[in-house]
Structure 1
Amino acid sequence: MRSHDVSAGLGAGEPIAAADPRSARALRGLLADHARLTLLDEASRRIGTTLDLQATCTELARFVLPRFADLASVEIMPPEALPTGLTLGSGPLRARRIALEAASAQRARLSGLTPAGQWVRHRPDCPTSRCLRQGGDAHPGVDAGQDWSCEIGAGGGSATGSVLIVPLRARGQLIGVLSLLRTATATASSVSAEDEAAAVQAVADRAARSIDDARRHALAQDLTIDLQRALLAEPGNPHANLELASRYLPSGTSAMVGGDWFEAVRLSFGRTLLVIGDVMGHGVEAAVDMSSYRTLLRYIAATDLPPHRILRQLDHLTSQNDATRPATCLLALVEPARHRCTFASAGHLPPALLGPGHPARLLDVPTGPPLGTGLGDYQAVVHAMHPGQVLLLYTDGLVERRTEDIDASLARLTRLGRPQPAGPLDELLDHVLAAVTPGAPDDDIAVLAARIQG
């Protein structure tokens, strides 16, 4: 260990007057409490700066180096693991190693260990397995021995020194383990092993809350993404006279996915109703509301009403439920036999039309209020749509930038550089997304392209 680091962290080595033993003990206690609070305050500032699980675990591993150890590993148990105290089975325990850090003199040992991001299996009788099974407190001074890594199939090799295994507990449940290797080459500390283990445990307890918050955030985001992917299936089958292609791009880890959706409803006489919408907000609630809007729209569209009357009916039904979030929506009734398309908009961005050899142009569509408001004032407009032209419906994540006016954002669509609509629609969408999408989108992106077959 390094005496100057540990002393700074635990308050050892301060000159204490020996005249009054009781005063000396009280002063030592005050200094130890002050040092512990200082250590925990620093840990709070440096660990848990984001809701990213890997970043939070890496911050913990780097915090304990080199003041408490030469090598640190943070492993998190899988979500399906049983709570502490219940039987986890007799086979090798496994946890996912999220962070693995080492001091400069010990980095060569990392090559023999399971890297970060991979599952680790520990031997049933090793200290890490016992900690994962039983929890408890940190146990100081476990000899490293010939198998200090205690990983099945790992080549960590032998080490002289000690291993400190620290449970990570949050909300009364064991969520993982912090493993520290302290080599014999480290300078001896004037602080007892028990006091040092207690200090590391205090840091781990403080960090575990941030790790659990990041873990829960990641689980919630994965759940929302899985839910939206299950709800946002491919658009329905159009008539053979209409070709479709679609894309859905979540915004990433910076925000929960939202309620973007698209749909195609096959109607009589060769007509197809195209739909694109965006429920306001993000998260599971927005995804559930998106499914509700989509189901109601399919039901209403089956009555063969014109687009603006479909929006009126949908707005009327959804406005009766105060829990349903408002949503923007654009309908496009494509009639290939008549070479035309009828539009109606509920607060949605205008569609774009791409012609062979011509840049995209935005179509003028009267914009009514969003769905769910109960206002229900929508109008229909007809535009020509000839074979070979491509109709592009999209949500605001494709074009919007926080730092610019919406008109400037929409104008970006008209500067696509004369794309070739005659090629495959999938390639056209790839071109549109590459040319228009922000580098770091703030919102989900849904795009639906349609072309009348000649």
Structure 2
Amino acid sequence: MLDIPSRVRVHVETLLAAQNDMGVCDAFEQYAPVGRPGAMNAPHPPKVAGIDSTVPAPAHTVAPPPAAPDTSPSSPSGPHARPAGALLQDRLAGWVSDLTTLNELTERLARTNGLDAALKELLRAGAALVGARRGLAVLEPDDGLGPDTTIGLGLARADLGHIETVPRSAMPYGTLLDTAAGLPGGDGEDVRPDLFAEDGLDPRHREVAGRLGYAACYALPLSTEAAGRLGAAVWFYDEPAEPAERRRHLAGLYLRFATEHLARLLDTERTRACMATVYEELLPSRLPRVPGVQLASRHRTGPRGGGDWYDALPLPDAALGLAVGSVTGAGPGAIAAMGRLRASLRAYAVMEGEDPVAVLSDLELLLRLTEPARSATALFAYCEPALRRITMAGAGHCPPLVLGERRTEFVETSVSAPLGMLACWEAPSVEFQVSSGETVLLYTDGLLHRTGESVDRAFARLHTAAASVPRALRHDPAAVADHVLHTVLPNGLDVTDGAEDVALLAARFE
């Protein structure tokens, strides 16, 4: 029995399971040459992305030269020939090293959760596998539904601009995207080992290659039978070169996995964009202009799409209705329920807006009869700009915040249950005055939840953010809303795809 080290034995089952996937029928004859292991089949993994953060220097060789015959005493033909078991262990260790490298790289790619991040990781890993320093990935799904994007590795924005001036058909990614070569079952690669030696090289391509300092390139399609053709990736060499057959095989295996991962991310991105579009269409397309009041709004949609909403509508007698609310749940059902609730509140506000309690009572009855399994919070304010008087009622919603030159305080509202939680909802309304130049801030609880803190600390953070609005910005409700949003949710917590929806409505009274 061969004395195979434990670090090799532990992967034997993995090797056997992956043998068919790698397309290798004889691992010892087809995958590794006989003799001393080369750079890609050494017992220890090479420095590649996922194992070492440093990308190796390009391997500028068309093919490894044949090994010179070994006439030393340790040569297999000499008196002290290496045993066959040692050669087997070397070859098997090289194969284990390559599979371990692929495992590390695919695990790193699987941890990405966005298209841009996945494409950047793909370029870094691919550059290490094919021995290049720079690269370019073009995402262009063949179904025409997008999104289309271009990501570079080691290329500045200006460099990408220069490359885009080259006729598409002259670039390797254009060949793969516009011909059958990039389709599943096509040629599957575009190898140009010495660009400046090509007789038919496009003059503009020659000029750009000289400007950017690359002399060779290697391109692979991002396509599989299941995902179709999503795009292509190309890596650039500083000198005439091309990756050896073994490196090309590993890169092809990696890109097969990468394409499937990109297809999943693409479906998620399209769903998210569709949900965001529906959400946008159900919110006010523009805010009304009412004498005596300036309005501004901000909203952020979670990845699944939720039920937070806001509204502002002119009412009879030069009045103004302001509303914010939140429907339980997420996804298409919550968005649809939000749209129905907002439309109903607008109708009730037009008929009986001067009585906010009646508006919310009717809304609660509608919700209980039509969607008994769902609850919602809401706040409706009836504003009289000429008198700077506001009458307001809330159903389980956060109290509004008033900020001005002399005060920054929450409006005292009565504690009430959300809509749909009780057999019959009713709560008293609150009436208060605002001074000239003061801003009333209405918001949903997503603004508090995104902070990740307790409710008390989140309210304190909101109060501090409102009090810290610079004096020069207080005349502009949009600037006030932006300052509050970015102060309460710093370090990217206010991005569109945060976990919670956020709706913010600011009304400044003149």
> TM-score, normalised to structure 2's length?
0.68
Q: Distance in 1 between matches of 2:247 and 2:140?
A: 25
Q: What letter matches 1:200 in structure 2?
A: A
Q: Distance in 2 between matches of 1:426 and 1:124?
A: 47
| Structure-1 residue corresponding to 2:126 | 64
| Structure-1 residue corresponding to 2:397 | 348
Q: What letter matches 1:114 in structure 2?
A: L
Shift, 1:201, TM fit: 0.9
SS across alignment from 1:302: helix
Distance change (3 Å), C-alpha of 1:437 and 1:119: same
| Among candidates 445, 452, 455, match of residue 406 of structure 1 | 455
| Structure-2 residue corresponding to 1:173 | 228
Residue ranges of structure 1 left out of the alignment (5+ in a row): 84-93, 102-106
- Residue 105 (structure 2) pairs with residue 53 (structure 1): no
Q: Which has the larger Rg?
A: 2
Q: Distance in 2 between matches of 1:422 and 1:111?
A: 38
Shift, 1:359, TM fit: 2.0
Q: Distance in 2 between matches of 1:451 and 1:248?
A: 15
| Pairs within 5 Å for 1:175-194 | 175-182=230-237, 193=245
SS across alignment from 2:429: strand
| Structure-1 residue corresponding to 2:27 | none
SS across alignment from 1:40: helix
Task: Provide, for residues 204-234 of structure 1, a one-character-per-residue CA deviation record: whole Å limited to 9, x for no partner.
Answer: 0111122223333333333333333333225
| Structure-1 residue corresponding to 2:153 | 100
| Structure-2 residue corresponding to 1:246 | 296
| Pairs within 5 Å for 1:181-260 | 181-182=236-237, 193=245, 195-234=246-285, 237=288, 239-240=290-291, 242-250=292-300, 255=303, 258-260=306-308
| Pairs within 5 Å for 1:54-453 | 54-70=116-132, 71-78=134-141, 81=144, 96-101=149-154, 113-114=159-160, 122-124=167-169, 127-132=172-177, 133-134=179-180, 135=183, 136-139=186-189, 141-146=191-196, 155-157=208-210, 163-170=217-224, 171-182=226-237, 193=245, 195-234=246-285, 237=288, 239-240=290-291, 242-250=292-300, 255=303, 258-304=306-352, 306-322=355-371, 326-336=375-385, 340-355=389-404, 357-373=405-421, 375-388=423-436, 389-400=438-449, 402-415=451-464, 416-417=467-468, 423-433=475-485, 435-439=487-491, 440-441=493-494, 442=498, 443-453=500-510
Q: Let me know the Cα RMSD of the aligned residues.
A: 4.4
Q: What letter matches 1:130 in structure 2?
A: T
Distance change (3 Å), C-alpha of 1:375 and 1:99: farther
Shift, 1:17, TM fit: 8.7
SS across alignment from 1:380: coil
Q: Distance in 2 between matches of 1:66 and 1:60?
A: 10
SS across alignment from 2:380: strand
Q: Distance in 1 between matches of 2:173 and 2:468?
A: 60
Q: Distance in 2 between matches of 1:82 and 1:230?
A: 20
- What is the number of equivalent residue pairs in this alignment? 424
SS across alignment from 1:371: coil
SS across alignment from 1:50: coil
Q: Distance in 1 between matches of 2:169 and 2:306?
A: 44
| Pairs within 5 Å for 1:16-55 | 34-35=96-97, 37-55=99-117
Shift, 1:23, TM fit: 9.8
Q: Is this contact kept in 1: 2:196–2:215, CA < 8 A?
A: no
Shift, 1:162, TM fit: 5.4
Q: Distance in 1 between matches of 2:280 and 2:506?
A: 19
Q: Distance in 2 between matches of 1:390 and 1:409?
A: 20
Shift, 1:424, TM fit: 4.0
Sequence identity (%): 24
Task: Provide, for residues 141-198 of structure 1, a one-character-per-residue CA deviation record: whole Å limited to 9, x for no partner.
Answer: 5433229997966702398975432111253311011223456577x98xx62x4322
Task: Provide, for residues 294-314 of structure 1, a one-character-per-residue CA deviation record: whole Å limited to 9, x for no partner.
Answer: 112112223216222322322
Q: Distance in 2 between matches of 1:48 and 1:130?
A: 28
| Structure-2 residue corresponding to 1:89 | none
Distance change (3 Å), C-alpha of 1:281 and 1:25: farther
Distance change (3 Å), C-alpha of 1:5 and 1:289: farther
Q: Is this contact kept in 1: 2:403–2:439, CA < 8 A?
A: yes
| Structure-1 residue corresponding to 2:17 | none
Q: Distance in 2 between matches of 1:59 and 1:271?
A: 55
Distance change (3 Å), C-alpha of 1:324 and 1:98: farther
Q: Distance in 1 between matches of 2:306 and 2:203?
A: 41
Q: Is this contact kept in 1: 2:40–2:247, CA < 8 A?
A: no
Q: What letter matches 1:448 in structure 2?
A: L
Distance change (3 Å), C-alpha of 1:111 and 1:218: closer
- Residue 39 (structure 2) pairs with residue 4 (structure 1): yes
Task: Provide, for residues 268-299 of structure 1, a one-character-per-residue CA deviation record: whole Å limited to 9, x for no partner.
Answer: 33332210123345555544433222112112
Bigger strand fraction: 1
Q: Is this contact kept in 1: 2:129–2:247, CA < 8 A?
A: no
User: Higher mean Cα deviation, 205-214 or 279-288?
Assistant: 279-288
Shift, 1:60, TM fit: 1.3
Distance change (3 Å), C-alpha of 1:138 and 1:31: farther
Shift, 1:342, TM fit: 2.2
SS across alignment from 1:228: helix
SS across alignment from 1:156: helix
User: Higher mean Cα deviation, 361-370 or 148-157?
Assistant: 148-157
SS across alignment from 1:38: helix
| Structure-1 residue corresponding to 2:7 | none
Shift, 1:63, TM fit: 1.1
| Structure-1 residue corresponding to 2:55 | none
Shift, 1:258, TM fit: 3.7
